[in-house]
Structure 1
Amino acid sequence: MTGTVSRRRFLGITGTLGAMGLVAACSPTPGGSPPRPAATGGGGAALLPTYQPFDTFPPDLTSGNPGVSPGYFTYPDPPTAVTSRVPASGGPIRALTFTYDPVAPEMSNNALWQSINEALGTDLDLEYTPAAEYDARFATTIAGNDLPDVVAVKGQQQQMPKMLAAKFSDLTELLSGDAVLDYPHLAALPTPSWRSTVYDGRIWGVPVPRSLIGTVLYTRADILERAGLSLQPGSLEEFTEMAKALTDEREGRWAFGQTPLTVLLETNGVANTWSVDDAGVFTFNGRLPGYEQALADAVALNDLGVVHPDGNAAQNTQRNEWMMAGTTAFQIGNYAGWPKFYLQGAGIDGFRLTGMLSPAREEGGTMVRTAGPAASHFSAVAAQDDPERLAEILRVLDWLAAPFGSTEYITRRFGKEGETFTLDGPDPVLTPEGVNQATLPVRYITENSPVIFESQNERAVRDQFDHQEAGLELTVPNPTEGLYSEAAASEGASALQALTATEQEILLGNQPVADWAAAVESYMSAVGNKIKAEYEEAWAQLDG
């Protein structure tokens, strides 16, 4: 990796944490993708697109922290068209992506999809697979000769820079600096989200931006309030007592649907998978005393019986159902999934959902928090012979990123008024047919800068906003954001699988915590030391 961005600027742009908790952070989670290094290859701030946010639709809630998403109590009235021309007039645009939702009806039976195509001026021929199957589909696609026009690049791949250069369009001259202003909706995407698209100092795609808040300890606030419990414990001891108070095995109630290791790591001061000192020496955080202490704390919670007995072997969808049914009071999940819980909780009397921050170990101690990457993934454009075709594809991507408050956003997310959505005041609301059709995963190609909006639910908007504002103040920069490790991409998965297997066995009580240190050293010998060396080499190339 080569580059000229300084370490100070590097961390300032990043401003997020990466993975924490090997099981939680390095395996797929619903609504998002596995946290990963946002390999940029350098190039400095001048390489990144100029940021030009939309100010047409002022929000109801704003923060002095630019990482906090703006909050809207109602949809802007009236919505405004922000696209000056129909984006396309040529042949269909093929796009390959993935989904975490059920398959949407085909285009011929999907009015929402048809509305998008009408607005685009061409057919968006969308191909997609379940997220869990996408790696195999991506590999097959790259190996073949029939590459779609747009391809979602999810996670790091082996020989990533070479693969991108061989198969995809270099977008640097079209999107770097002020050039992006020709695509104003792309220019409104947050600067940190673009860093995941840059390899060897070139821009290779358009990001799918996400809120920096990352993983959330979802909390059934209504259950805690009825039990007279605080929504934010001040120490591990209070957190533990809270869990005991929420658990009644005879009544079929437990505090947690899974062992909350991600919370306990933060409680013990462990943020990110790697850390770096002032000399540029990287440390795998599994070696930190706090990591082993977090495992011991997790085992202690399990022994108290506050975790659902089937929880650590269950799927996340099952754990979500437990929380919504009141069987458990907490659930760990990605922030992007927050809105779906309001839909599921619409019929629950007094339902309220909040996010709890990981408490300090001792009352008054330091709190830290892990945030997610600024982009879920990015969409690359296949190599094009015709510059006008490339510009047309970028105009389509620009339309798909139209901001909240626009008529384009309504078409993209809600479709056709009277058929797939109706208006409740100024707010678009999907019809039953629209709910089914809106699973079309256009948002996994690209989308607008994140906002907080829950129709007719001001408290929900405030709860999410407050959680982001409090949580992002505690984030610790992740030093591996922006660094590419070939060893991590090509060899890391198998070695990590063995390490996470040991972690899981410890959490299940099948191995002692004392086994962790040896498992970490095996991981370091297998691949961790290579990754460490590559990160240190890349870090050293950042100027001082």
Structure 2
Amino acid sequence: MSTAQAVSRRALLRGAGAIALTAASASLAACGSSPSAAGVTQANSKLKLPTYVPYDQVTPDLPAGQDLLPGFFRYPANPVTAYQSPPATGAGAVNILVDTFTPVPPALGGNKFWQALNAKVGADLKFNMVPDSDYSSKVSTTLAGGDLPDIVMLPSWTPQLPQVLKSLFADLTEFLSADAVKAYPFLANIPTFSWQPMVANGGIYGLPTPRASIGSIMFTRDDLIAQRSLNPAPQNYQEFLDLCRGLTDAKAGRWALGNAGAAGGGAMQFALEIAGAPNAWQEQGGKLTNAVTTEAYKQALDIVSSMWKAGLFHPDTFSATFQQQRDWFGTGKVGMTLDGYAAWDIFVSTYPGVNVGGLVAPAYSGGGSQHFTGSGSYAVTAIKKASASRIKQLLQVCNWMAAPVGTTEHLFRKFGTAGTDYTMVDGAPVATSTGSVETKIPMQYIVDASPTLGPGRQDIVQKQYDFHKKVAPLLVSDPTVGLYSPTNATKGAAINKILTDSLSEILRGNKPVSGWDETVSNWRSAGGDQVTKELEQAYAQLH
């Protein structure tokens, strides 16, 4: 499990709760000695990941390809029922801690969907759904308290995550490694790319919430671009800047962008792609270079800070919440926003009538473009240490939640009961007023089906597919995925804070870009050089 990343949304610790999470993680890690980088990497490399067995009982309208998701224009007309009886009968109460980005649905007693869900799974699923703004605090108190739920969604940026997993959670290797995963066919349907971040301490310590390799997209309001007769496909930075200027009209309350990326992602990630920077790290001849040490990183800083000074960002950019930034895009206050690829469907369903598109990052001076891969999984879902029989019950619960498009289990999990929670309109489920509230149990952040495009409106799915197809050949990966650095595991939060504090000040215009050199020097001496050395040692073990 790679814990070394350039500054990103996943690496940024969130507020007081995250500080507490760091403290909780540190206390757990202190219980044992820190293993060597090469030793852990070598152990991880010998592990056999779950055998990938694609589900083949449904044919998509648009075929899958290398780094390309299959597309569905409508929900399969005759979905298959995978389970003839509840898979987790006898499991009793199953306590689950999970993040949520939507209002918490009604409790079990007043929620018929939740009641039906428990009956179909065969267990008393007790979801503790915590709003994202409070999730760091909740995880920290849960880890420190020792009374763990059966299933816990751990953020991928959890400090000292490998040690936390080893101390508190079950090693799932014997249940999921190689062909063992075939006992859970829908977990076996999750691609290998999403299992890689689940590896730690020489074993499989989590279940993925799978995400496509495409990662994040710079979404565009194509309707606003067309209204202003702007160029929708800039071929270099200057043309991109012209697009941003054309979308901005401060007097009318409209701006090009609303997320500078001070907390990771955002315009800063897009600028890094424009500048030709590495995706976190770059490897050449066995030597690793962190993106923050490159001239391309400083060029990206200059791009974003200059655009902020030029008034191309919403004035509340640096104080806005994640949801506010989404609302700005959906209501047309900003014309572009960088978000996870799955947000395309969220924008279309939440803000009717918007025409959403995606923008490929143009190279600064034109020519070849690049696009950073994502992490493969939103989070790491860990299972509390327990007997083998109990772990098998919990894996059956998760296997049910991973049922793919084309099964009645997937249709129910996503949309509920026909007539009560949704109606079919042109082959697509449309939520009723009841379904739009009661079905919002965030199971997709525990484990999910292998990702697809759709089912949805043909024109939207086709547009998504065409964008993915365009970007797939441009993907740039992080060569440190699967590598381990003891220094980063123990000091990563502190040394990364050196970077994030300076990044924020430069993007706001409170500090010159030239100040980044001193920041990098401080990062190196605080542990950055040692992290690089350890990762190079780990890399050498695999090559």
Give TM-score, length-normalised by structure 1. Answer: 0.88
How far apart in 1 are the matches of 2:201 and 2:101? 31
Offset of 1:329 from its aligned partner? 0.9
How far apart in 1 are the matches of 2:13 and 2:403? 28
CA contact (8 A) 1:41 1:200 kept: no
Does 1:240 pair with 2:241? Answer: yes
CA contact (8 A) 2:331 2:351 kept: no
How far apart in 2 are the matches of 1:275 and 1:193? 21
Measured against aligned partners, the alpha-carbon deviations of 1:412-459 in whole angstroms (never above 9, x if no partner) come to 11122222222224322211121112221111111100011153x212
Could you list the structure 1 runs, at least 4 aligned residues long, displaced by more than 3 angstroms after superposition: 23-29, 39-46, 156-163
Measured against aligned partners, the alpha-carbon deviations of 1:27-53 in whole angstroms (never above 9, x if no partner) come to 379xxx9xxx9x976544861111100
Within 5 A, what are the aligned runs for 1:56-455?
A: 56-65=57-66, 67-90=67-90, 91-157=92-158, 159-259=160-260, 260-278=267-285, 280-346=286-352, 348=353, 351-363=354-366, 365-385=367-387, 387-455=388-456
Measured against aligned partners, the alpha-carbon deviations of 1:98-154 in whole angstroms (never above 9, x if no partner) come to 112211111111122112111111211112322343333223323334222212222
Offset of 1:399 from its aligned partner? 0.6
Give % identity: 35
Q: Which amino acid aligns with 2:430?
A: V
Partner of 1:478: 478
Q: Greater shift after overlay, 133-142 or 387-396?
A: 133-142
How far apart in 2 are the matches of 1:393 and 1:283? 41
Closer, same or farther in 2 for the Cα pair 1:40/1:118, shift >3 Å?
Answer: farther
Q: Which amino acid aligns with 1:27?
A: L
Partner of 1:8: none
Closer, same or farther in 2 for the Cα pair 1:23/1:540, shift >3 Å?
Answer: closer
How far apart in 1 are the matches of 2:346 and 2:46? 36
Partner of 2:12: 27
How far apart in 2 are the matches of 1:62 and 1:45? 33
Q: Which amino acid aligns with 2:468?
A: Q
How far apart in 1 are the matches of 2:231 and 2:425? 35
How far apart in 1 are the matches of 2:233 and 2:11? 27
Number of residue equivalences: 512
Measured against aligned partners, the alpha-carbon deviations of 1:188-211 in whole angstroms (never above 9, x if no partner) come to 001111112211221122211012
- What's the secondary structure of 1:417's corresponding residue? coil
Closer, same or farther in 2 for the Cα pair 1:487/1:411, shift >3 Å?
Answer: same
- What's the secondary structure of 1:82's corresponding residue? coil
How far apart in 2 are the matches of 1:185 and 1:40? 28
How far apart in 1 are the matches of 2:152 and 2:300? 39
How far apart in 2 are the matches of 1:393 and 1:300? 51
- What's the secondary structure of 1:312's corresponding residue? coil
- What's the secondary structure of 1:328's corresponding residue? coil
Closer, same or farther in 2 for the Cα pair 1:390/1:144, shift >3 Å?
Answer: same
Unaligned runs of 5+ in 2: 19-36, 261-266
CA contact (8 A) 2:71 2:455 kept: no
How far apart in 1 are the matches of 2:393 and 2:64? 36
Measured against aligned partners, the alpha-carbon deviations of 1:179-238 in whole angstroms (never above 9, x if no partner) come to 111111111001111112211221122211012221211100111122222322111111
- What's the secondary structure of 1:396's corresponding residue? helix
Partner of 1:463: 463
Unaligned runs of 5+ in 1: 2-13
Partner of 2:507: 507
Q: Which amino acid aligns with 2:383?
A: V
CA contact (8 A) 2:485 2:535 kept: yes
How far apart in 2 are the matches of 1:480 and 1:400? 30
RMSD: 2.4
How far apart in 1 are the matches of 2:138 and 2:9? 24
CA contact (8 A) 1:420 1:432 kept: yes
Closer, same or farther in 2 for the Cα pair 1:483/1:131, shift >3 Å?
Answer: farther
Measured against aligned partners, the alpha-carbon deviations of 1:338-390 in whole angstroms (never above 9, x if no partner) come to 211112221x3xx2101101111113x221111211111222221223x3222
Closer, same or farther in 2 for the Cα pair 1:23/1:409, shift >3 Å?
Answer: closer
How far apart in 2 are the matches of 1:236 and 1:396? 48
Q: Which amino acid aligns with 1:441?
A: P
CA contact (8 A) 2:11 2:157 kept: no
Closer, same or farther in 2 for the Cα pair 1:507/1:205, shift >3 Å?
Answer: closer
- What's the secondary structure of 2:271's corresponding residue? helix
Offset of 1:514 from its aligned partner? 0.8
Offset of 1:505 from its aligned partner? 1.5
How far apart in 2 are the matches of 1:48 and 1:230? 45
CA contact (8 A) 2:166 2:201 kept: no
How far apart in 2 are the matches of 1:495 and 1:511? 19
How far apart in 2 are the matches of 1:154 and 1:323? 26
Partner of 1:9: none
CA contact (8 A) 1:157 1:489 kept: no
How far apart in 2 are the matches of 1:73 and 1:45? 41
Closer, same or farther in 2 for the Cα pair 1:285/1:77, shift >3 Å?
Answer: same
Q: Which amino acid aligns with 1:227?
A: R
How far apart in 1 are the matches of 2:42 and 2:109? 43
CA contact (8 A) 2:86 2:119 kept: no
- What's the secondary structure of 1:51's corresponding residue? coil
- What's the secondary structure of 2:371's corresponding residue? coil
How far apart in 1 are the matches of 2:158 and 2:228? 48
Q: Which amino acid aligns with 1:378?
A: V
Give TM-score, length-normalised by structure 2. Answer: 0.89
- What's the secondary structure of 1:104's corresponding residue? coil
